[in-house]
Structure 1
Amino acid sequence: MSINRILGSSLVRNSFVYVVCDGINKAIPFLLLPFITYYLTPGDYGVVTNFNVYVQILSVFCFLCTAGALPVMFNKLDKSEIRSYVSNMMLLNTVVTFVCLIINMFILRWIDRGLNISPTFQMYAIVVVWFTGITNINMLLWRCEERPVAFGVYQISQSAVNAATTVVFVIILLLGWQGRVYSMMCSVIVFGIISLYILYRRGYL
């Protein structure tokens, strides 16, 4: 196979788009970091880190296991079956998230003492996880369908909104670590709703 043919293949083109978009996506928070560090103390960063850790723990239970199976099933099922599979994934993720919410109610104080996350922000973490699961499903479908441009634009847009709301809440309104959490919530909820609409319009819900 010639070099030109390799470079012209969809795999190479898609990989190039993913790499470029991923680079831009990671550059946005990196460029914002010097400004944020001026307004957030090391203690603030610690609380934000704990919040992110709790979100990641919840994500393992709420959607990562089911989402990991989607790329495998995508090539085994036809279009109608994929739609049914995605709908069932959404339902299962919602049920599991609700179960996590109930369990969280019984261990609020332990989590507060262990991670220094108040009960209110523990509830915020569960909201973030549910909306993140929706966006994750939408992004996985774009990957499976080999739509790197849509994937990249969506990813960069979410990072840009996250950065813009961080400027508003942390730098302008001076809300400290709470502002950083609010900015994450805003971007996750907005793009989760957009993902819900996209999935609905495409017949997955």
Structure 2
Amino acid sequence: MSAPHRPAAGPDTAAGRLRARLEQLRALALDRSFTHPAFADLVLAHGRDYAPALWPAAAQAHPQRAGDCFAGAHEWADDEGWTYCGGYALAAADPVIGAFEHAWCLIPEGRAADPAVPDGRVLAYRGLPLTDAFRRAQGRGGHAVITFGRDLLTGPNLDVLRGGLPPDALAAGTPDTAEASGRRPRTAHEEG
């Protein structure tokens, strides 16, 4: 298991509350011998925090798909050129749900465009911005790239949890880089 994440923001912020919840979810280990025994461990170790964004005007051609975040995020990444992110979202009004596994897209402004949850219902996101090459190479279609997702028969991506993320998995750059360029963060291969 990777070392505990040390949040920069305090627990009184939405991002801090989400990270605190993920620390609790680390206990749901699939196999303690894995590099990342739980999806929450992987997201804490390699994920980034994102703020929610209002529904982008460009997304009007792709209406939200309640309960179908993974397929929606794949669609937007393919159609709009946005970056697919898989991770967790913090529910705004339901302390019972709290943090839930989720997928969204990172828009050029460096914020989260959510394919399945209406504006105002998520307080914070933490996830892995995945390169198109890695996302497609996993062969999971419209399913979750790493976690269980909607179809429990698909199961999690055990190769990633067992061995860790390959070097080409995460989109390079930060939301600041994406905002400055107006484009999706480039992969290390594209930069090299």
The TM-score with structure 1 as length reference comes to 0.28
Q: Which has the higher helix share?
A: 1
Larger Rg: 1
**Larger RCO, structures 1/2 (Cα 8 Å, 6+ apart):** 1
The TM-score with structure 2 as length reference comes to 0.29
Q: Which has the higher strand share?
A: 2
